C-alpha cells in the first residue's frame, strides 16, 4: 500500500492505526522529514538505517524500528528492502516510547500487523478493532529494546572526536593524542564523551564498527572482507564483537539475510 494512499487517514482517524506492506525494492535514501503519526517499520529483508540528530539506529530483518510522531529523521537502506509499516495516531496516555528504538519483533506483534493490513480496504471502526489497537500499543511498549544504536555527541569537540574515531584504523590512535587534537584533556574528553553518549570512546568505536559491518554484509560482502574494512585486524575478534552486539555471528546474520 503506497504511503500516500488517501484511505489511510480514515483508518487512522477511526481506529488510531493503519498498516500496509512494503514491497521489495531498492531504496537508498529518504531525505530528512517528519510525519504527524508515529511509525513502526519491520523488515523481512534488507537493512534500514534511521538517522536523527541524536544518532543512528540500524534495523536488520526480524527487528522493527520505532519512530516517534513529529521527529525529524532520514532513512537509508542497504540490499533489497521488503517488510511492512504501521502508522500510529497514539493517545497521549498510550505509554509509547518517546525516542527512536530498535525493538524485538514478537510473533503476536507481527500477527497484529498482518490483521491490520486488511483494514485499509475496509476501514470500518468496531470495538474489536479498537481492542486490537490497544494490544498493539501494549506490545510496542513491552517490546525488548535492541541496542543497535550509535549515539551522536552534541558538543562540537566531541563530534570531532567521533568523526576521527569513525575514520578507520587511523582513527584508533591513543586517546591522549585525540584529546590534544580536539582541544581537551584526556580526562575531560573521556568523562564528557561517556556522559553524552553513554559509551566510552573505545566502546563507541566498537559499536560503530559493528553497525557499519551490518551495511557491508547487507550489500553482500564476505565476513572476512567486512572485518578488515571496518578496521579489525583479526576476523575472530570481529566475530566476537559482532555476536556480543547483534546477538548472532556475522555468518548467521548473513545467511538469514539471504534466506529472507
Residue 239 lies in a domain: yes
pTM: 0.85
Band of pLDDT at residue 188, cut at 50, 70 and 90: confident
CATH no. for residue 42? 2.60.120.280
- Label residue 139 by pLDDT band (50, 70, 90): very high
CB atoms within 10 A of CB 148: 22
Residue 104 domain flag: yes
* Residue 172 confidence (pLDDT) above 90: no
Within a domain: 163: yes
Report the candidate in 160, 161, 116, 155 with the shortest Cα–Cα distance to residue 139: 116
Mean pLDDT of 225-245: 93
On the question of pLDDT at 211 being above 90, the answer is yes
Angle (CA) 58 62 63, round 5°: 45
> Chain-centre distance of CA 102, in angstroms?
5
Contacts of residue 182, defined as CB under 8 A and 6 or more positions apart, other chains included, come to 157, 158, 160, 161, 164, 189
Q: Give pLDDT tens digits for 75-112.
A: 988 888 889 999 998 776 678 999 999 999 999 999 99
The whole domain housing 97 covers 8-146
Q: What's the gap between Cα 114 and its chain centre?
A: 21
Q: Is the domain of 33 the same as that of 59?
A: yes
164: domain CATH number is: 1.10.10.60
The reply to whether 117 and 20 lie within a common domain is yes
Number of domains in the chain: 2
- Report the distance separating Cα 165 and Cα 73, nearest Å: 23
Statement to judge: residues 36 and 92 lie in one domain: yes
pLDDT for residue 165 is more than 90? no
Asked whether residue 235 is domain-assigned, the answer is yes
pLDDT for position 19: 92
Domain boundary among the residues 146, 177, 202 is at 146
Residue range 116-120: mean pLDDT, rounded: 90
Q: Which of 131, 146, 161 is the last residue of a domain?
A: 146
| pLDDT level of residue 27 (50, 70, 90 thresholds) | low
Does residue 111 sit in the same domain as residue 225?
no
Amino acid at each position: 500500500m503506497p504511503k500516500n494512499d488517501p484511505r489511510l487517514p480514515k483508518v487512522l482517524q477511526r481506529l488510531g492505526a493503519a498498516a500496509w506492506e512494503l514491497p521489495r525494492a531498492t531504496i537508498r535514501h529518504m531525505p530528512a522529514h517528519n510525519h504527524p503519526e508515529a511509525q513502526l517499520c519491520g523488515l523481512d529483508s534488507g537493512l534500514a538505517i534511521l538517522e536523527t540528530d541524536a544518532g543512528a539506529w540500524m534495523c536488520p530483518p526480524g527487528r522493527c524500528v520505532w519512530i516517534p510522531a513529529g521527529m525529524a529523521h532520514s532513512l537509508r537502506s542497504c540490499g533489497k528492502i521488503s517488510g511492512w509499516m504501521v502508522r500510529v495516531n497514539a493517545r497521549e496516555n498510550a505509554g509509547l516510547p518517546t525516542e527512536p528504538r530498535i525493538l524485538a519483533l514478537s510473533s503476536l506483534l507481527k500477527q497484529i500487523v498482518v490483521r491490520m493490513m486488511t483494514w485499509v480496504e475496509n476501514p470500518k471502526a468496531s470495538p474489536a478493532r479498537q481492542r486490537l489497537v490497544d494490544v498493539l500499543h501494549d506490545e510496542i511498549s513491552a517490546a525488548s529494546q535492541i541496542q543497535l544504536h550509535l549515539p551522536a555527541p552534541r558538543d562540537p569537540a566531541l563530534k570531532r572526536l567521533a568523526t576521527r574515531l569513525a575514520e578507520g584504523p587511523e582513527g584508533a590512535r591513543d586517546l591522549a593524542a585525540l584529546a590534544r587534537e580536539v582541544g581537551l584533556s584526556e580526562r575531560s574528553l573521556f568523562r564528557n564523551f561517556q556522559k553524552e553518549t553513554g559509551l566510552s570512546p573505545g566502546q563507541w568505536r566498537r559499536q560503530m564498527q559493528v553497525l557499519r559491518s551490518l551495511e557491508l554484509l547487507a550489500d553482500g560482502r564476505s565476513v572476512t572482507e567486512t572485518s578488515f574494512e571496518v578496521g579489525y585486524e583479526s576476523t575472530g575478534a570481529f566475530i566476537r564483537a559482532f555476536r556480543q552486539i547483534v546477538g548472532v555471528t556475522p555468518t548467521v546474520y548473513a545467511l538469514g539475510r539471504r534466506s529472507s
